[in-house]
Amino acid sequence: MTEDVTARTGFFPLVAGTDISLTQAGSTAVVARGDVALSQSGSNLLLTAGDATIDQGGAMTLASLGNVEVSRGGAMVMGAGSIEVDRGFVGVALGGSVTLKNSRVLLGQAQAAALGAALGVVLVVGRLIFGRGR
């Protein structure tokens, strides 16, 4: 993975490289050592060590060690150092800084932590009530 990759118009099961750019394309997984730019594109899984920029597109799961900027798009689960979404939707946003402009988020960091704690309690209580391996 030492090359820059540009993919246009089509579906690509796996896109891997240093800096990646997808235009009017889809992918099952995008894995980058550098930055990722999606324009009118989508991916099921997007992992990048750099920044991610999405314009009119999205991802089911997006994880970035850098910053994420989304314009007219979104993701179901998004984790990054900082997240900025303009006119988009995010299911769960986990970041050091989350900025939403005319956008919606289903669960922020506090709500996601509360949901995780509640599910943990339910699992512990269920295990105590029903026992293990009867």
Return d(Cα 42, Cα 30) in angstroms, integer: 10
State the pLDDT at residue 60: 94
pTM attached to this predicted model? 0.78
pLDDT, position 17:
93
The tens-digit pLDDT sequence of the chain (134 residues) is 468 888 899 999 999 999 999 999 999 999 999 999 999 999 999 999 999 999 999 999 999 999 999 999 999 999 999 999 999 999 888 888 888 899 887 777 777 778 778 888 888 888 888 876 55
Return the pLDDT at 1.
Answer: 46
Specify the pLDDT at position 98.
Answer: 87
111 membership: H or E segment, kind and range: helix 109-130
**How many Å apart are CA 16 and CA 10, to the nearest integer?**
16
pLDDT of residue 132: 64
d(CA 100, CA 109): 14
pLDDT at 19: 95
